[in-house]
């Protein structure tokens, strides 16, 4: 059985309060998900600040990063982008409009579907996303430096298992 760390965090205080008023309540899930939520929020805010010098938000980063990860010619349909990012077509259209006005991507007719469009990274968009992804990963790497490599691997494995066992929202 592993010893609990001596360091306390705000989630410990919440769990202690619940234990005082509801000693019958099993708060293990609260301990795990409270920390995941707080980490996600804190790191999300820090990552958003890392993207700001490049003139993009986290949502816009997601669009550019999805196009970049698709490989050359960095082109996807709006429907493919929406499905990957779990966005409505209306939400996607707003992001695409802003990114197109900034010259980071372009929309063009799909040569294989007269009714369809293609979204492609521009050279400027490629440059911006390559810089922004490096800045975002630097923020995440800094946060992860609190763990050694073995701990980081173990955490990644555990979170993968948890995520795999959790159904996606419909």
CB 103 within 8 A of CB 125: yes
pTM of the model: 0.84
133: left (phi over 0), alpha (psi -120 to 50) or beta: alpha
Domain 55-138 has CATH 3.30.70.20: no
User: Would you state the pLDDT for residue 140?
Assistant: 95
User: Would you state the pLDDT for residue 107?
Assistant: 94
3-state helix, strand, coil in the chain (%, to 5): 65, 10, 25
CB 84 within 8 A of CB 75: no
- Tens-binned pLDDT, residue by residue, of the chain (170 aa): 455 557 889 999 999 999 999 999 999 999 999 999 999 999 999 999 999 999 999 999 999 999 999 999 999 998 889 888 888 878 888 899 999 999 999 999 988 888 889 999 999 999 999 999 999 999 999 999 999 999 999 999 999 999 999 887 76
User: Would you state the pLDDT for residue 12?
Assistant: 92
């Amino acid at each position: 059985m592993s010893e609990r760390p001596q360091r306390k965090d705000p989630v410990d205080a919440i769990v202690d309060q619940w234990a005082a008023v509801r000693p019958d309540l099993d708060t293990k899930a609260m301990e795990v998900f409270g920390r995941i939520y707080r980490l996600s929020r804190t790191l999300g805010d820090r990552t958003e600040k890392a993207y700001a010098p490049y003139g993009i938000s986290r949502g816009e980063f997601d669009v550019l990063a999805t196009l970049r990860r698709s490989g050359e010619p960095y082109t996807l349909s709006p429907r493919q982008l929406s499905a990957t990012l779990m966005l409505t077509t209306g939400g996607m259209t707003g992001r695409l409009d802003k990114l197109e006005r900034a010259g980071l991507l372009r929309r063009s007719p799909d040569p294989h579907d007269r009714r369809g469009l293609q979204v492609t990274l521009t050279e400027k968009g490629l440059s911006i996303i390559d810089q922004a992804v490096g800045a975002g990963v630097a923020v995440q790497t800094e946060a992860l430096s609190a763990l050694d490599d073995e701990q980081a691997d173990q955490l990644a494995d555990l979170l993968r298992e948890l995520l795999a066992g959790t159904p996606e929202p419909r």
